[in-house]
Chains A and B, each alone.
Chain A
Amino acid sequence: MNSALEKQLNLLDYALASLWRRRLKNSSVLVVFTAVIFLVASFHLVTTALTETAGAVLRQTPEIVIQKMSAGRQEAIPVAYGEQLSRLFGIKKIVPRVWGYYFDEPFQANYTVLGVDPAAMPMGEHLVQTLLAGAWPGSAANQAVVGGAIRELLALSVAPPTVEDDFPDHSLFALHRPDRSLKLLSTVGVFRDETALLTADLIAMSLADARDLFQIPADLATDLCVYVHNPAEITNLARKIAAILPDTRVLTRPQIEQTYRVVFGWRSGFAAVCLLAALAAFVILAWDKASGLSPEERREIAILKILGWETADLLLVRCWEALIVALLAFVAGCTLAWLHVVFFEAALFRPVLVGWSVIHPPFALTPRIEVKDLLLLFVLTVLPYLAATVIPTWRGAVVPAEDALNG
């Protein structure tokens, strides 16, 4: 075997024996370090998942949304407002939309009801890509697409039911109109999990059904969605629209994206500062512990030097020790973080990043780990620990054997 490799194996042997001898201390370091990495990795996974999910869903939204304001309060907008904008160059299409929040008292859950007409939307045919199963509501009335969480909450199946599942029809559910009459809806599709951040509590239906549910006249809508030819002109067009329709609020997609970024940004920034402070405290603790080499450790260094170990050998042993602890903590921390986010829905960070209120219904996060994320975590956690343990050892190892022996 190559002698350099054999030497490394010797050093590794020695490092393992050394770790085992100080197993109590090293186990404590491992547990604390794993906890720190777990927190940092969980947080990073949740933030990434939320940001990416929001970004992916927002890319499907209209470029401009117009809402009618009355004394600072939003109210239904006449569909005819769209006609006043027809002379504006650059607008591809204006589509009315009806939406509103629906509180389902028996389940203590809030749903978001959205009525759109995919056929009228420029990219309407692409909406089917957001579905995990089924189809977007067609021309037939009383059809709906629901978020995964609602499907689970109401135990819905997607129509058409199989023969065995024919009765009772589990695709059906009912919502109350303002007059307390029931509107029966058939589930024809379910949104994909990847879009859960915005669709978990969503019930999408045709414009007509939404109007029927909320009892909104056919000439009114909740807002008007404006699609443009050139995304670079969004801001200009929004300004012109606001000038033409002074009693409206004009929201652009970049503004909404920015709002999400700010919301996640300050929350993640707040939590990141707390976590980085914990990480820094751990590194300082490791540094403090390692820099104050104990008499026993100084004696060990002296004996090894007298037996012919070079400074580089001593450093390599400490490198191996630190690397073993750090890698074990890294793998354990990242694995626990993944389990925490996927199976426990990031219970520790969800209130900070998603909101402090109780979310009904709950939704699942779908984190994605990339090599660059792992590298980032590695750089943030493992490298500071290696530096904090190896540099003090180097300082101890370059001391002449005599001085080390005399303490």
Chain B
Amino acid sequence: MSMNAQLVIEGVGKVYRVDEQTLAAVREVSLTVKRGEMVAVIGHSGSGKTTLLSMIGGIARPDSGRVLFNGRDIHTMNSDQLADYRCDKVGFMFQFASLLPMLTARENLLLPAAFGRSRGKPDGRAEQKAAELLALVGLGDRLAAYPAQLSGGQQRRVAIARAFMNDPELILADEPTGDLDEETEQDILRIFREYNRQGTTFVVVTHNRQLAASQDNPRVVRMKQGLLQEEIGPA
């Protein structure tokens, strides 16, 4: 394992069982991601991209293989340690907006901060950071808006901003710009680049080759029928 490797995936497999049938969503996938690297995972729908991301994030448990983060197998952690890992180390961006409807945009951003490293009440700094992040995604004037008062694209941007709240080491993004207009998409990609330059590692699932190609020297890997079929290399 490289000294600089932050994320090491070793022969990971995941099989879903539906009734009597089994479906191998991910098969013997191995991948090493260095600290501060930007990896784009591309592939068709159903190729296993999201499942792979879920296993990296500790949401889904692999049936075989290991996922090592900073040298530790995350699937040997107990549920509380896994919760800490998800809270402190990882920022998630889902395919869907994943906002809680009873909280405002600002409160949705504070949600991970409330239970982050300090596990304390969001202080003024966290409030300020939430405001800055929302301004960064172009929603500086919608702090008090509830999700129902935001468009789908705006909700997506709030969720993107939330992923950065705890200064995670690793961002796992599943189709992050899927339903954004082109201009907003470019803004989001600029934010990704900025954080990436500061050392945040990104694993971005997309079937948008243009997105994969638009990163600064991204590493692009392709998933096909559960296999990490080829590594395309920097675009």
User: Could you list which residues of chain A lie within 8 angstroms of chain B, going by C-beta atoms?
Assistant: 1, 3, 6-7, 9-10, 14, 17-18, 20-22, 300, 303-313, 400-402, 405
A308 contacts B60, C-beta separation under 8 Å: no
What does DSSP make chain B's interface, helix, strand, loop or mixed? loop
A21–B108 Cα distance when bound, in Å, is 14
5 A-B pairs with the lowest CB-CB distances in the bound complex, closest first = A308-B87, A21-B102, A6-B121, A6-B120, A402-B60
Q: Name the B residues within 8 Å of A1 (CB-CB).
A: 120-121
Tell me if B137 is interfacial: C-beta within 8 Å of chain A. Answer: no
Question: Min CB distance, B216 to chain A, in Å?
Answer: 28
B121 contacts A9, C-beta separation under 8 Å: yes
A161–B121 Cα distance when bound, in Å, is 70
Say whether, besides A307-B87, A308-B84, A402-B54, A7 and B119 are in contact (CB < 8 Å): yes
Say whether, besides A310-B83, A400-B61, A17 and B115 are in contact (CB < 8 Å): no
Tell me if B111 is interfacial: C-beta within 8 Å of chain A. Answer: yes
Task: Kindly list 20 other residue pairs between chains A and B, CB separation below 8 angstroms, not including A17-B103, A310-B83.
Answer: A3-B118, A3-B119, A7-B121, A17-B107, A300-B100, A305-B83, A306-B57, A306-B59, A307-B86, A307-B162, A308-B83, A308-B86, A308-B88, A309-B83, A310-B79, A310-B80, A311-B80, A313-B115, A400-B61, A402-B59
Say whether, besides A308-B86, A308-B87, A401-B59, A303 and B115 are in contact (CB < 8 Å): no
B111 contacts A7, C-beta separation under 8 Å: no
Say whether, besides A17-B102, A20-B102, A309 and B120 are in contact (CB < 8 Å): no
A1–B121 Cα distance when bound, in Å, is 9
Nearest neighbor of A23 in chain B, beta-carbon distance: B102
Question: Min CB distance, B86 to chain A, in Å?
Answer: 5
B115 contacts A21, C-beta separation under 8 Å: no
A10 contacts B83, C-beta separation under 8 Å: no
Q: Name the B residues within 8 Å of A304 (CB-CB).
A: 100, 111
Nearest neighbor of B123 in chain A, beta-carbon distance: A6
0/1 string, B105-119, CB within 8 A of A gives 1: 001000110111011
Q: Name the A residues within 8 Å of B59 (CB-CB).
A: 306, 400-402, 405
Nearest neighbor of A397 in chain B, beta-carbon distance: B79
A307 contacts B119, C-beta separation under 8 Å: no
A3 contacts B120, C-beta separation under 8 Å: yes
A103–B186 Cα distance when bound, in Å, is 96
Tell me if B199 is interfacial: C-beta within 8 Å of chain A. Answer: no
Tell me if B46 is interfacial: C-beta within 8 Å of chain A. Answer: no
Interface centre among B54, B87, B100, B101 (most CB of A within 10 A): B100
Q: Name the B residues within 8 Å of A305 (CB-CB).
A: 83, 86
Question: Min CB distance, B117 to chain A, in Å?
Answer: 10
Question: Min CB distance, B148 to chain A, in Å?
Answer: 11
Q: Name the A residues within 8 Å of B60 (CB-CB).
A: 400, 402
List 15 A-B residue pairs with CB atoms under 8 Å apart, sorted by A's residue number.
Answer: A1-B120, A7-B114, A9-B121, A14-B114, A17-B107, A18-B102, A20-B102, A306-B98, A307-B86, A307-B112, A308-B115, A309-B115, A311-B80, A401-B59, A402-B59
A7 contacts B115, C-beta separation under 8 Å: yes
Q: Name the B residues within 8 Å of A3 (CB-CB).
A: 118-120
A307 contacts B111, C-beta separation under 8 Å: yes
Nearest neighbor of A16 in chain B, beta-carbon distance: B102
Nearest neighbor of A11 in chain B, beta-carbon distance: B114
A253–B114 Cα distance when bound, in Å, is 67
A303 contacts B100, C-beta separation under 8 Å: yes
A401–B85 Cα distance when bound, in Å, is 14
Tell me if B92 is interfacial: C-beta within 8 Å of chain A. Answer: yes
A400–B78 Cα distance when bound, in Å, is 12
